[in-house]
Amino acid sequence: MAKLLEGAPVAEALTRQIKEGVDRLRRFGPVPTLAILRVGERPADLSYEKQTRRQCESVGIRVKQFLLPENSPRQELLDAVEAINRDPGVHGCLLFRPLADKDTERAACALLAPEKDVDGVGVGALGAVFAGEGAGFPPCTAQACMEVLDYYQIPIAGKRAAVIGRSLVVGRPVSMLLQQRDATVTICHSKTRDLPGICREADILIAAAGQMGMVTADFLRPGQVVLDVGIHREGGKLRGDVDFPAADAAAEAVTPVPGGVGRVTSAVLTRHVFEAAAGVSLQRQQP
């Protein structure tokens, strides 16, 4: 049986550290504050907002809402982003996506000040991830993968990693973060040939394709560490991109779904808000 890399202890350890940091900061400095910028009332957004708010409150981070009605004119959203950029009392911004209009979404993400871009949505923050320096934070899910590896003391330097998926939300940024920590990374996508063979070669396999159960036994081998980023709803249950019984039988360690990487993501968001408030918006990776 594979070792289960549960997200809860990782999130709890992060939450403890962040709470201590926020307590210290609040004694002498600003109250770290996250702006939530939401357009419309989609149930998934409302539930994510509730969870984010709870996580922020648990560490002493204040949340300020910026709400716009569905079908708001593009300029209103851009004005809201500019107001957030200008507001010295707001340190980070979480823009709920996807938006109905992709061009507007891109413009809003690009306008957000990199030092307040705590979920790495804009080109400035992503540029920092790719360059390894500059203002901005990596997307929280990509960073959550790194937190899981570090918490469980999984060596990264010199290891072969395969990442399935090349989105700017997960696949590409996590590939860069792994490479900055001296892994040799293969970024795979829908046109990759012999995907199972490439994945079998990897010491660390990160599945972020958004295809339920696609990582089957032929992708896996003993000794591998498998991180499952995928989230799918099937018959009221959550499942990942990895065929869990196959990974449990073959790999050395695997994250569960639910309760794996996803559990760590909101804790990472609060750390980014704390760091933004403390003025630590430089890309940094801990060994």
The residues that touch ligand NDP, with contacts defined as CB under 6 A, are 141, 164-167, 169-171, 188-192, 195, 208-211, 214, 229-231, 261-262, 265
How is residue 240 annotated by DSSP?
A: -
Q: Which of 273, 220, 266, 258 is nearest to 92 (CA)?
A: 273
Nearer to ligand NDP, 85 or 96 (CB): 96
Which residue's beta carbon is nearest to the bound ligand NDP?
167
How is residue 155 annotated by DSSP?
A: -
Nearer to ligand NDP, 25 or 154 (CB): 154
Nearer to ligand NDP, 80 or 139 (CB): 139
Q: Which of 280, 285, 258, 276 is nearest to 51 (CA)?
A: 258
- How far apart CA 287 and CA 284 sit, in angstroms, is 10
* Nearest distance, CB of residue 152 and ligand NDP, angstroms: 17
- How far apart CA 226 and CA 162 sit, in angstroms, is 10
- How far apart CA 31 and CA 23 sit, in angstroms, is 9
Nearer to ligand NDP, 136 or 173 (CB): 173
* Nearest distance, CB of residue 56 and ligand NDP, angstroms: 16
* Nearest distance, CB of residue 284 and ligand NDP, angstroms: 21
* Nearest distance, CB of residue 191 and ligand NDP, angstroms: 6
- How far apart CA 257 and CA 230 sit, in angstroms, is 8
* Nearest distance, CB of residue 55 and ligand NDP, angstroms: 13
Q: Which run of H or E residues covers position 249?
A: helix 244-250
* Nearest distance, CB of residue 141 and ligand NDP, angstroms: 4
- How far apart CA 194 and CA 283 sit, in angstroms, is 34
Cis peptide before 258 (omega within 30 of 0): yes
Nearer to ligand NDP, 80 or 162 (CB): 162
Instruction: Give the strands of the sheet with 62-68, arranged side by side.
Output: 62-68, 33-39, 92-95
* Nearest distance, CB of residue 34 and ligand NDP, angstroms: 17
Nearer to ligand NDP, 42 or 189 (CB): 189
Amino acid at 279: G
Coil, helix or strand at residue 153: coil
Nearer to ligand NDP, 81 or 207 (CB): 207
